[in-house]
């Protein structure tokens, strides 16, 4: 009897210990308070950090104290927001970028990191069910630098000037092999690989598609304004007008819009409007004006200053274009004898101001041969 009681007591103790052991081995992550505080705002109401699909005890985030950076995934059940977090030089934790299209599928990815050899930099890696994305800080900007897409069968390395696509997809991700790849083919041109701009749908899946998609900003004539070096925020769109002001002419049937996910050249500012050139397609670009609020805080560009000339007379009927470098697509027509304001030279073109048939202000380019440029003194003489 005594032996039986001893056995029962031992069994009871074991039953008490097992749940405790199970709780210890399956203890779930909690988000550090400093990171959780970043999302304690009305804009993040309904969002939470999910647990990863492959490791249900692990929250979908990574924070690297040594590098003062990390990633946090926030989900509201429908949208998945991948957030880049960094500590400022003043010690403040901040969300510095967000991307709502980098995480794909229903599974919740896991995160890892790899130091970049010989630098004080790191690669932040995100592993989904059938993909991998790697981000690193390049020239002060966080960018997509490497990716695997097992669904479509390709691997790619990415810079803002080119994309390399592997001829054969490697089976394994190799440690410390973030930038070194196997047999690659390259497509050269501008691709916006900033953290916030990346989308799986827009990324080319083959080298042929990459060569068709990638374009380069054209070289503008030296007698015009030089493009500024500032960059607009990624992943945004802006209405485009043919002259400063929302009451001016708007191309594309009144629907001209510029995306910041391709190259954009900014030439200067006039009365709260930026003169830009941007890419529409491989065979069509456009000059136009967007609201200067598109500039990031602290960025400045030169003020546009035009010729101080009297109105000029158009000698022959001519079309006005907003794309003098590629398509020369017609924006409107001018008749012989019409009066226009010449704002600037642009190689063999003049940049002019006129009005369309509805009386709306319009600026564009005409061949220099259609106007004999006269100064005030010429007209008086």
pLDDT digits (tens, 9 = 90+) for 232-290: 988 899 999 999 999 999 999 999 999 988 889 999 999 999 999 999 987 899 999 99
How many CB atoms within 10 Å of residue 122? 20
Of 154-163, 177-186, 277-286, 367-376, the range with the lowest mean pLDDT is 177-186
How far apart are alpha carbons 81 and 11 in whole angstroms? 48
Share of the chain above pLDDT 90, in %: 70
Residue 55 φ/ψ, nearest 5 degrees = -130, 90
How far apart are alpha carbons 379 and 135 in whole angstroms? 61
pLDDT at 201: 92
Assign 3-class secondary structure to 173-236. CCCCCCCCCCCEEEEECECCCEHHHCCCCCCCCCHHHHHHHCECCCCCCCCCCCCCCCCCCCCC
Q: What is the pLDDT of residues 330-346, one digit of tens each?
A: 999 999 999 999 999 99
Q: Domain boundaries in the chain?
A: 33-213, 312-380
pLDDT at 49: 97
pLDDT at 135: 97
Residue 72, H or E segment: strand 69-75
Tokens of 292: 């200067």
DSSP-derived pairing of the beta strands 349-355 and 361-367? antiparallel
pLDDT at 214: 87
Tokens of 188: 């050269």
How far apart are alpha carbons 124 and 88 in whole angstroms? 18
Q: How much is the mean pLDDT over the chain?
A: 88
Classify burial at 148, counting beta carbons within 10 Å of its beta carbon; exposed 0-12, middle 13-18, buried 19 or more.
Answer: buried
% helix / strand / coil in the chain, to the nearest 5?
A: 15, 40, 45
Residue 264, H or E segment: strand 264-270
Q: What is the pLDDT of residues 104-127, one digit of tens each?
A: 999 999 999 999 887 889 999 999
Superfamily of domain 312-380: SH3 Domains (2.30.30.40)
How many CB atoms within 10 Å of residue 113? 19
Closest by CA to 326, choosing from 214, 182, 220, is: 220
Share of the chain above pLDDT 70, in %: 88
How many CB atoms within 10 Å of residue 226? 11
N-terminal to C-terminal alpha carbon distance within the chain: 131
DSSP 193: -
């Amino acid at each position: 009897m005594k032996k039986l009681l001893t056995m029962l007591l031992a069994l009871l103790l074991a039953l008490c210990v097992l749940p405790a052991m199970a709780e210890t081995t399956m203890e779930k992550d909690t988000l550090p308070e400093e990171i959780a505080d970043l999302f304690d705002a009305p804009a993040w109401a309904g969002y939470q950090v999910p647990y990863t699909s492959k490791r249900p005890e692990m929250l979908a985030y990574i924070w690297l104290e040594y590098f003062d950076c990390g990633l946090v995934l926030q989900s509201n059940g429908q949208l998945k927001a991948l957030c880049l977090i960094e500590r400022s030089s003043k010690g403040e934790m901040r969300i510095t970028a967000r991307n709502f299209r980098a995480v794909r599928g229903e599974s919740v990815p896991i995160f890892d990191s790899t130091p970049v050899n010989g630098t004080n930099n790191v690669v932040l890696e995100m592993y989904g069910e059938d993909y991998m994305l790697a981000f690193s800080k390049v020239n002060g900007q966080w960018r997509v630098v490497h990716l695997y897409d097992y669904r479509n069968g390709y691997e790619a390395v990415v810079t803002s000037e080119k994309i390399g696509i592997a001829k054969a997809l490697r089976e394994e991700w190799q440690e410390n092999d973030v930038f070194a790849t196997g047999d690659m083919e390259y497509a050269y041109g501008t691709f916006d690989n900033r953290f916030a701009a990346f989308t799986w749908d827009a990324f080319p899946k083959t080298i042929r598609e990459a060569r068709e998609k990638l374009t380069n900003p054209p070289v503008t004539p030296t007698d015009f304004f030089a493009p500024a070096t500032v960059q607009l925020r990624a992943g945004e769109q802006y209405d485009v007008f043919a002259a400063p002001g929302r009451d001016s002419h708007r191309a594309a049937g009144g629907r001209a819009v510029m995306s910041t996910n391709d190259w954009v050249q900014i030439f200067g500012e006039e009365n709260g409007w930026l003169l830009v050139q941007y890419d529409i397609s491989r065979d069509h670009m456009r000059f136009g004006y967007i609201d200067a609020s598109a500039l990031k805080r602290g960025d400045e560009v030169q003020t546009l200053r035009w010729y101080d000339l009297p109105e000029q007379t158009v000698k022959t009927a001519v079309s006005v274009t907003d794309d003098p470098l590629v398509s020369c697509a017609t924006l409107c027509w001018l008749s012989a004898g019409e009066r226009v304001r010449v704002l600037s030279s642009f190689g063999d073109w003049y940049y002019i101001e006129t009005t369309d048939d509805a009386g709306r202000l319009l600026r564009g380019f005409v061949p220099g041969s259609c106007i004999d440029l006269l100064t005030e003194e010429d007209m008086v003489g």
